[in-house]
Amino acid sequence: MKKFTNSGNIDTRSGFGAGMDELGKTHEDVVALCADLTGSLKLNDFEKNHPERFFQTGIAEANMIGMAAGMTIGGKIPYATTFANFATGRVYDQIRQSVAYSGKNVKICASHAGLTLGEDGATHQILEDIGLMKMLPGMTVINPCDFNQTKAATMAIADYDGPVYLRFGRPSVPNFTEKDGKFEIGKALHLVEGSDVTILATGHLVWHALEAAEQLEEKGISAEVINIHTIKPLDEEAILNSVKKTRCVVTCEEHNYLGGLGESVSGVLAKNDPVYQEFVATNDTFGESGTPAELMEKYGLDTKSIVEAVNKVLAKK
Amino acid sequence: MPNIKELEDFVSQVRRDIVRQVHNVSSGHPGGSLGCTEFFVALYQEVMKRKEGFDMDGKDEDLFFLSNGHISPVFYSVLARSGYFPVDELNTFRKIDSRLQGHPTTHEGLPGIRVASGSLGQGMSVALGAAQTKKLNGDDNLVYSLHGDGELQEGQNWEAIMYAAANKIDNIISTVDLNGQQIDGSTNEVLNLGSVRAKFEAFGWDVLDIEKGNDMEAILEGLKEAKSRTGKGKPVCILLHTIMGHGVDFMMQGHAWHGKAPNDEQLEKALAQNPETLGDY
């Protein structure tokens, strides 16, 4: 199978920060808002290099979202940034009315999504944000897998006119996608060709899916790995073409199985080509304190869990 | 010099439009709409700088944001009669397939509406964002917003009020419709606001009262004064003292007509108190 090389562990949020600094130079209408988490969101360079376009809102996320909506009137492209929990659940109605229903060109950019936020615990580890955001009519939902892809996605959404939820994370993870690669919203990426099972992964789970595919190959199982960086709109064609061949699916995400990528995939399969599916996702639970690795293991989101899910779905096939 | 008589005639017609819209579908919010009629007419007919063509790009003109979206009947009437869309469309208020939704929205592409509102407490943040963009664009026109007094119970307002003063957003004039009423009763009974002036001032705003909030001359004078206070490092707040239901005598007692439609007989009474001046739709 095709091998991917980790060019060095780095956090996806730094990819966001790098993308923002770049956008600051290329897109004069891009502005950034942040609710007292500038360092955590890696916006220090943007703030330093483009101070007139950086807006510190204080710990006031509702006002930040509303301001971002207002800033689009007159032509700015606002990036509203904070932790995923405070960027979604805390301000759901503000996003719903002032951004989504009003069709405003706001980019909601959320770091520290999922369990890998780690030690701060469940108050900060949102596992419901993909569901919350994908249910909003007109909202695009993107969850890139590494530094390079997060940077590319950050830049690509500036050229798309409409509300976007961009989700990334805190921990250092392998960086393995192409540097300065093109990011196409809604276009799934085939990473590994295979014939026995389709593994659809998003975010941090993509690297684990690749590791799982390698381990499976050693056991004579041919896994197809697809990076679903855009959960909405979902690349239905890529999914259906793959399952036509493999006849079973494992979905992988750092999110509750309710409302996540897996559920979106189930909907596509049920309507078009029902096949067995296993979910590598959290099972309707809150998280807890711990290191990212400990949490991913405990909640069944690591490489081993993907291998197990593949074996399970293959047994049913 | 503005022609007060003409503006008052305009007001009379808008009041007819309000009660007729609400009566037509037996739903909607006449009370706050009637109370703010003079203010809307003053803004759109006299005070705001508005571009020809209604292109809605938000540039090079004054902008208005309605935060308490439930008073859509007055907003729709004044927009239509200011040329944003055909006056006949008021007939579709709250009906299926209409651009005139129960609460204002951009979703149906109705000219004049810049953001959806109805879920309360969000309008000031949006207005601040628009004001911030005006500053970035070097556009020295103003942003106006209107808020209910009961709406100030929503916490997001105070985030916005704090931000505006701290960041010297001095190209905004936010008006609070101080009618003292909300759905469940008077604001004093439901959740006492205390001194709204003291609160805004404590946050660092420049505050002025328009004591006669249903008097055209007083409103024009107040808005002129408010405008003169912009550009001086502080956001400006107008406390607009109005009477809910103003202009229809039986709607002027308390909060009863916040969100209630008149029946046929009540409609006739209301219309008799507000003569047709510009032609009913």
The partner residue sitting opposite A97, judged by closest CB among B65, B119, B132, is B119
Contact residues, chain B, for A137 at CB < 8 Å: none
Q: Where are the beta strands (DSSP E) in A163-222?
A: 164-167, 172-173, 189-192, 197-201
Point out the residue among B115, B155, B162 whose CB comes nearest to the CB of A98.
B115
Does ipTM exceed 0.85?
A: yes
B129-151 pLDDT, tens digit per residue, is 999 999 999 999 999 999 999 99
Closest Cβ–Cβ partner in A64, A73, A98 for B58: A73
Q: Which residue of B has its CA nearest to A104?
A: B115
Alpha carbon A56 to chain centroid, angstroms: 24
Min Cα distance B50 → chain A (Å) is 14
**Chain A contact set for B133 (CB, 8 A):** 70-76
Provide the residue ranges of all domains of chain A, joining segments of one domain with +. Answer: 10-173, 189-311
Q: Given this model, what pLDDT does residue B54 score?
A: 87
Which class in CATH covers the domain with range A189-311?
A: alpha beta
Looking at the domain A10-173, which fold is it? Rossmann fold (3.40.50)
* DSSP element (H, E) containing B148: strand B143-148
The per-residue pLDDT for A32 is 98
Q: Which residues of B touch A53 (CB under 8 A)?
A: 136
Q: Active-site residue A263, yes or no?
A: no
Mean of the per-residue pLDDT values for chain A?
98
Tokens linked to B239: 């406390």
**Inter-residue contact B249 to B14 (CB < 8 Å):** no
Q: What is the pLDDT of residue B216?
A: 98
Find the CB nearest B160 among A55, A66, A68.
A66
Indicate which of A50, A61, A67 best probes the interface with B, i.e. most B CBs within 10 Å of its own CB. A67
pLDDT over threshold 90, residue A228: yes
List of chain A residues whose C-beta atoms are within 8 Å of the C-beta of residue B66: none
Domains plus CATH for chain B?
4-50+57-272 (3.40.50.970)
**Residues B155, A75: C-beta atoms closer than 8 Å:** no
Element (H or E) spanning A51, and its range? none
**pLDDT digit string (tens) for B173-212?**
999 999 999 999 999 999 999 999 999 999 999 999 999 9
Residue B53: pLDDT band with limits 50, 70, 90: confident
Chain B positions with Cβ closer than 8 Å to A? 57-59, 63, 65, 105-107, 114-119, 121-134, 136-137, 139, 155-156, 159-160, 162-163, 166
**Contact status of A10 with chain B (Cβ, < 8 Å):** no
Active-site annotation holder among A22, A28, A52, A61? A61
Where b means 16+ CB within 10 Å and e means fewer, A136-173 reads beebbbbbbbbbbbbbbbbbbbbeeebbbbbbbbbbeb
Residues near B201 by Cβ (< 8 Å), separated by ≥ 6? B207
How far apart CA A172 and CA A85 sit, in angstroms, is 20
Q: What pLDDT, on a 0 to 100 scale, did the predictor assign at position B52?
A: 85
Is B1 a residue whose pLDDT tops 80? Answer: no
- The residue of chain A nearest to residue B165, with distances taken between CA atoms, is A57
